[in-house]
Amino acid sequence: MTLSSKIAVALGVLSLLLAVWALLLARSRRKHVRQGRELSAEAQAANSRAQAAEGRARTEVQNRQAAESRTTELNTREAELLDEVRHLVSDRLPALALHLISSHHPVPGLLHKHLAGSEAAQLLDALPEAVSGIVLKERRRIDAAARAALRGATQESQALSYRLQTNIVGLQHEFSAPPRLTQSLLESDHINEQNLRLTQRSAIVCGGWPGHVRKDTYVSEVVSGASSRLRGFDRINIVSRLGLSNIGVVGRAAEPVAVVCAELMANALEHSRDDLMVDVGLIQTGNGSVCITIDDAGKGMTSEALARGRSLISGEQQEVMLLELGDPPSMGFAAIGRLVADYGLHVSIDTSSPYGGVRAVVSVPENLLTSIDEYATPPSVMAPQPAVAPQAHKRPAAADSPAHSPAPTGAAALPQRRRRFSATATNDEAAAAPRPLNPEDTGAMWSDFQSGLTSDRSVTDSESTL
């Protein structure tokens, strides 16, 4: 083998070795790369596991914090609800009970305003409404039962009072008694009249009717009769400015008008001093109605009392419960409102009295008025008469003066006085001329009373003590 062959073989072996070494080196490199990748994957997996563990730990912390926050919120919500329930029991429901008695007492709302709109707040607000409905329903039931019982009792008492009044009037006209006993009968009649007014007022408020049927009555008699039912009637000054003296109230409305006037005059007497007068005027308006004005000089009414009174007398309230009228109940305005609604009257009260007190005006519409024959049914002598309008004084004409006798002539002629006729006296007598009345009817009306007084003066002292 030659040297070149040997060199070629050596180079071939060397190339083979290099190829084997390169192959081994490549395999080792691939192994290291694969191991590096495996290590990197393991590191990434470990890192992912660490991050996941950290995330789970963070989540657990967040969940624990959320649970603690929710627990705190629930505890706060529970405390707020307990506060609202205590507030409902201790404040809102008692205030609601006062509000049902008088609307001037406010009902407080929720204690925590941020709860408004929630379901719990709706339930808390619905409870007072439900309680209010139940209480009002029960109050109406109890009030209706009380009104029915009171109405029955007042009607029986009213009938007995009318019988007693009839007996007293009969004694006044038929029994010749000493002056002291006659005065006692008159006082007993007046006391019975006052009691009858109170009973009648209670019956009207409870849904009963006035209990007295009249025939057509003069307006002046209705008003004067209403004043005679009151204690302190001598403080009432009635002035009639009616254009006609025969204006009357139809029978079905005479007693209601009398009740309304009596209650308003009683209110005027009660709220003014005992030394102050109450002025009552009768006026006929241009639309055919008759207005009865009542003016007092008392202290007046507060704005709250005035608003309450106007609401009661308007007749717009369908039902007025006895519990709303105070303790003891003030039934005067409530009775007026009931009659206003039933008979179509119009009543107003305000503070425009010229004496600084209260003015009340009762308007009787034209359909409740009528004309009465004064000759067939003469008015009472106790009723106020229409005022006569003043007339201008006129100087008498020369033709109306009496003819003078011819003056004597000669020495016998002496100065003579001539009487001058006063035109003022003539006009005053004409203006003061009373309206035509039947003297026989008027005399017959008081014949029994005058004969009784005459006979009473002649009784002996021993008879007076019986």
Question: What was the pLDDT predicted at 388?
Answer: 57
Question: What was the pLDDT predicted at 260?
Answer: 93
Question: What was the pLDDT predicted at 433?
Answer: 44
d(CA 208, CA 147): 10
CB 334 within 8 A of CB 320: yes
**Residue boundaries of the structural domains of the chain:** 14-94, 118-148, 214-391
- Which range (58-72, 154-168, 222-236, 380-394) has the least confidence? 380-394
Question: What was the pLDDT predicted at 1?
Answer: 62
Q: 382: exposed, middle or buried (C-beta count within 10 Å: 0-12, 13-18, 19+)?
A: exposed
With a cut of 70, say whether residue 394 has pLDDT above it: no
Question: What was the pLDDT predicted at 294?
Answer: 92
Question: What was the pLDDT predicted at 463?
Answer: 38
CB 322 within 8 A of CB 205: yes
Question: What was the pLDDT predicted at 263?
Answer: 92
- Which range (176-180, 267-271, 402-406, 419-423) has the least confidence? 419-423
Average pLDDT over residues 188-198: 86
pLDDT digit string, tens, across residues 261-307: 999 999 889 888 888 899 999 998 888 899 999 998 888 888 888 88
Q: How confident is the model at residue 113 (pLDDT cuts 50, 70, 90)?
A: confident
Cα 222 to Cα 94, 172, 292, 310, 371, distances in angstroms:
48, 22, 11, 24, 14
Phi, psi (degrees; rounded to nearest 5) at 206: -85, 10
Among 136-145, 186-195, 285-294, name the most confident range. Answer: 285-294
Average pLDDT over residues 168-195: 79
d(CA 381, CA 438): 12
Question: What was the pLDDT predicted at 347?
Answer: 92
Question: What was the pLDDT predicted at 390?
Answer: 54
With a cut of 90, say whether residue 419 has pLDDT above it: no
d(CA 460, CA 233): 34
Go through 103-133 and write b for each residue having 16 or more CB atoms within 10 A of its CB, e for each that does not: eeeebeebbeeebeeeeebeebeeebeebbe
pLDDT digit string, tens, across residues 335-362: 898 899 888 899 999 877 888 888 999 9
Q: DSSP characters for 274-294?
A: TT--EEEEEEE-TTS-EEEEE
Residues above pLDDT 70, as percent of the chain = 80
d(CA 45, CA 258): 108
Residues above pLDDT 90, as percent of the chain = 8
- Which range (14-23, 72-81, 376-385, 409-418) has the least confidence? 409-418
Please count the CA atoms within 13 angstroms of the CA of 13 that sit on its side-chain side. Answer: 5
- Which range (62-66, 148-152, 169-173) has the least confidence? 169-173
State the DSSP H helix or E strand holding residue 238, giving kind and residue range, or none if neither: strand 236-241
The topology (CATH level 3) of 214-391 is Heat Shock Protein 90 (3.30.565)
Q: DSSP characters for 138-151?
A: HHHHHHHHHHHHHH
In the chain, % helix, strand, coil (3-state, to 5) comes to 60, 10, 30
